[in-house]
Amino acid sequence: MSPTPVTPPPVTPPDAKLRTPSNLRLRMIASVAMIAVASAALWFGGIAFWLLAVVIALFMMAEWSDLQKVASREKRVAQYGLSVPLAVMAPASLVLEEHHFFSLGLLVGAAFFVTIVTRRSALGQGVIYCGLPVLALVFLRRQDEGLLWAFWALALVWATDIGAFFAGRTIGGPKLAPRLSPNKTWAGLIGGVMAASALALLLHVYYGLPWRMTLATPLLAALAQGGDLYESWLKRRAGVKDSGNILPGHGGVLDRLDGLVPVAPVAALLVVVPYLYR
C-alpha cells in the first residue's frame, strides 16, 4: 500500500501582506499625502521647507540609531549633535552662499563630536547620512532656479520608486539583489530609471531643466535604487523589517527617504561644479 503523498504548504511571498488591496490602498493614500506635504513646503520654501527637513532629519537620526541598537541616551546625543548644524541651515543664517560651506564643516564637526562622546562611529556616520541631504536640498532651494531644481531632485526619487514598484509588480522576473531585498527586480530597476528619465525630460522641455541634470537623471535614479538597497542591508543586519512604524503602510522615515539620501548631495554637486570652473 503506497503512502499518501503529502502536499507541501503553499509558499507565501515575503511581501504577501503588502500586496493585499487594503494595504496597497493605504500605501497609495499615504504616498500622495507625503508628496503633497513635501511639495507644499517646497513651494513656500524658506522656513517652511527648512522646518520640514529638520523634523524629518531628526526622525531619520532616531531610526538610524535604532538600527544600530544603541541606548536611548546615545540616540539623544546623536539627535542633539545633529540639531546644531541643522539649526545653522535655517534661512535666517544662510544670508551668504559661503554659509553653506560653514554648515558642511559644522556637520562634519558634529559627526566627530557624536563619535567621540558616544564612542560609536556608526552614530557619527548617521549624522552625515541624515544631515547631508538636508543641506543639499536647502542649498538647491535657495538658488535662483531653486524651486525647479529641488523639485527635480525630489521628484526623480518619487518617479523612480513609483516606476520600480509598478514595473516590478507587472513584469517581475529576475531578482536584483535577493539577499538584501527579495522583492526588488531588474525590471523594477529599469522601470524606475525610465520613469525618472521621462520626468526629467518633461521638466527640461517645459520648464528648462538644464541638460546636465536631465542627462544625469538615469544615473541618479540608479543611485536612488542603490540607496534603497543600502538601507535594506542595514535593516537585514539589524534583524528588522522596517526602520520604524511612523508612516502608515510604509514603515519608517528612512524606508521612504533612503533613495533621496545619496541623490540630493549629487544633485547639489551638479549645481556647484559649473561655478567652480568659471
Predicted confidence pLDDT, tens digits, the chain (278 residues): 455 555 555 444 444 444 555 667 777 887 888 899 999 999 999 999 999 999 999 999 999 999 999 999 999 999 999 999 999 998 765 555 567 788 899 999 999 999 999 999 999 999 999 999 999 999 999 999 999 999 999 999 999 999 999 998 899 889 998 888 888 899 999 999 999 999 999 999 999 999 999 999 999 999 999 999 999 999 999 999 888 888 766 688 999 899 999 999 999 999 987 766 65
Q: What is the pLDDT of residue 102?
A: 86
Q: What is the pLDDT of residue 97?
A: 56
Is 85 a domain residue? yes
Bridge-based pairing state of the strands 181-185 and 175-177? antiparallel
Is 7 a domain residue? no
Question: What is the residue range of 33's domain?
Answer: 21-276
Q: What is the pLDDT of residue 50?
A: 94
Is 72 a domain residue? yes
Return d(Cα 173, Cα 130) in angstroms, integer. 33
Is 14 a domain residue? no
Q: What is the pLDDT of residue 13?
A: 47
Is 4 a domain residue? no
Is 1 a domain residue? no
How many domains does the chain divide into? 1
Q: What is the pLDDT of residue 18?
A: 47
Closest CA to 157 of 62, 68, 221, 109: 221
Cβ atoms of residues 150 and 141 within 8 Å: yes
Is 44 a domain residue? yes
Closest CA to 271 of 140, 162, 160, 182: 140
Is 13 a domain residue? no
Q: How far is CA 236 from the centre of its chain?
A: 18
pTM of the shown model: 0.88
